[in-house]
A and B are shown apart, each in its own frame.
Chain A
Amino acid sequence: MSCVRGLRCKECGRDYPIAAVYVCEFCFGPLEVQYNYEQAAQSMTRDAIAARPRNLWRYRELLPLDGEPTDGLQSGFTPFIRAHNLARELGVRDLYIKNDGVNFPTLSYKDRVVPVAIAKAKELGFDTVGCASTGNLANAVAAHGARAGLRRYIFIPTGLEAGKVMGTLVYQPTLVAVEGNYDDVNRLCSEITNKYHWAFVNVNMRPYYTEGAKTYGFEVGEQLGWRAPDNLVCPVAGGTILPKIWKSFHELERLGLIPSVRTRMFAAQAATCAPVVTAVHRGSDIIPPMKPAPLAESVDTSLRIGNPADGPYVVQAVRQSDGWAEMATNEEIIAAMQLLARTEGIWTETAGGTTLAVAKKLIEQGRIRRDETTVICITGNGLKTLEAVRERLGKPIPIAATLAAFEERVLGA
């Protein structure tokens, strides 16, 4: 029942059969999964979808699997909430939060892409998976790979937050901390992929992995009552999720599930590492690789990629959609994390702080209109980046266990 037709080079259009390949032999362009949309449209109706389990496989006609999924059956279909308090604070009418900070089981959007990559790796006969990660992906590969019974080699840069490191180690993979930043890790993983027959989810499984990110957008479309928002603000690291959300809205439109897409796509990065924002501001398609600011000066590490694989496709989606890109300073990121917690009761990590800080900026700039529908993509959980807010939150009030102490110290009576 698979609607998958094969792989196609995004640059020169050459076709390839489904396999563990990820770049075009002729031009080195990235390969992308092709579907038979006529076939998908027959079974993927609103009613049929509504009757399916609330997980990421709800939209499986447009995911690259042949058989029945057995991974990630509790992943996806995360909360979508109307953010009244935050909307009031920001002075907009219609604001929504899509909260992948409570995705299952590792509390980030990576719980969507990893089950798809792992399911495909199993179909292709691999017994070992790996990844190059800024932290969240490491957690997801470690956990989903554990459940799938696969050997796991996970590569991170040195200096990540304790929550992300422990949140990987607990699943007992082989965790390797590489000297250098993510871009060094990523290059090394490419070289390892050339030599070892392993499925690196974001290297040789990348055509399948990235398709999993579309489910974030499918869910937004469905949860918004089968329409796409006017504006969507999304964090950017390697550049996977933003273009895939853009693609997912167009696929929903193509299947007749939503009216025509008029969404403007907005990209968010931390000022300490903003190669994609810089390219958008320069009006350029070129994304010169950038060295991130030193770790000690960077609150965010999740988005810390100086050489983003799919950066050019982010720029393309932003431009085609008449959107824009902005960056947030360390201070703005932390303030936005606290703002979201205070107004909506959601504790996001630094990537979420970056996204909200940028949304606020875009509203102030008038690029996001106050009377339109806006979705803010919250993609990670604050428990993983305690370090970012540790010094900002004050302390509990210490008292003796007596009523008098309570009244004196807490109520100030």
Chain B
Amino acid sequence: MPVKVLLPTVLQRLTNNEVEVQAEGGTVREVVDDLERRYPGLKERLCDETGRLRRFVNIYVNNEDIRHLANEETPLKEGDEVSVVPSIAGGASPPGAQRE
């Protein structure tokens, strides 16, 4: 499932300064794994050791916060837009905490 991913400046060093990249996956989790294949090192920026999204990472699918959807399991369809935004632009939850 090809989707478009928007990345924040702090990650663009890993993507040759690309702001918008393509990735594949049927869920947000799969897209994160695919990004890691394409841009090694990217996943550890987004996720902690247990594979959960970090406290200060917000992800939006078609402009909706995935915490209002199905979190990392949010399903994706072709052409969806996934945006990764530092939580400075919105709230945060502590490490390991439930992302409600």
Contacts and interface: CB of A to CB of B under 8 A. Distances in A.
Given A27-B54, A28-B45, A203-B88, A286 B9 contact: no
Interface string B53-89: 0111110100101011000000000000001011111
Contacts of A183: 65, 90
B97 A187 contact: no
B7 interface: yes
A22 interface: yes
A381 B19 CA distance: 40
Nearest to A290: B91
Contacts of B7: 194
B92 interface: yes
Interface string B88-100: 1111111001101
**In this complex, which of A22, A28, A191, A308 has the most chain B Cβ atoms within 10 angstroms of its Cβ?**
A28
A164 to B, nearest CB: 21
Interface residues of B, number: 33
B40 interface: no
- Chief secondary structure at chain B's binding surface: mixed
B27 interface: no
B98 to A, nearest CB: 7
A191 B6 contact: yes
B91 A308 contact: yes
A286 B100 contact: yes
Contacts of B94: 285-286, 312
A132 B92 CA distance: 18
Interface string B1-41: 00000111110110000010000000000000000000000
Interface string A19-45: 001111111111000000000000000
B93 A287 contact: yes
Nearest to B12: A194
**In this complex, which of B56, B60, B67, B100 has the most chain A Cβ atoms within 10 angstroms of its Cβ?**
B56
Contacts of A307: 58, 65, 90-91
B19 A194 contact: yes
Interface in A5-28: 11, 21-28
- Chief secondary structure at chain A's binding surface: loop
A206 interface: yes
Contacts of A275: 91
A189 B57 CA distance: 16
B67 A288 contact: yes
A287 B92 contact: yes
Interface in A266-293: 275, 285-289, 291
Contact of A195 (B19, B85, B91, B92): B19
Contact of B67 (A11, A191, A289): A289
Nearest to A276: B91
Given A286-B100, A288-B67, A191 B85 contact: yes
Interface string A291-315: 1000000000000000111011000
A389 to B, nearest CB: 31
A74 interface: no
Contacts of A194: 6-9, 12, 19
A222 interface: no
Contact of B68 (A190, A203, A291): A291
Nearest to B83: A191
A309 B10 contact: no
Interface of B: 6-10, 12-13, 19, 45, 54-58, 60, 63, 65, 67-68, 83, 85-94, 97-98, 100
Query: Which 7 pairs of residues, A with B, have the shortest CB-CB distance?
Result: A307-B90, A28-B56, A288-B100, A190-B89, A23-B86, A287-B91, A286-B93
23 contacts: A11-B56, A21-B9, A23-B8, A25-B10, A25-B45, A27-B54, A30-B56, A187-B58, A187-B85, A190-B88, A190-B89, A191-B6, A191-B85, A203-B88, A203-B89, A204-B9, A286-B93, A286-B94, A286-B98, A288-B67, A288-B93, A289-B90, A312-B92
Given A11-B55, A23-B8, 11 more contacts: A21-B9, A27-B55, A28-B54, A30-B56, A187-B60, A190-B8, A194-B7, A203-B89, A288-B67, A308-B91, A312-B91
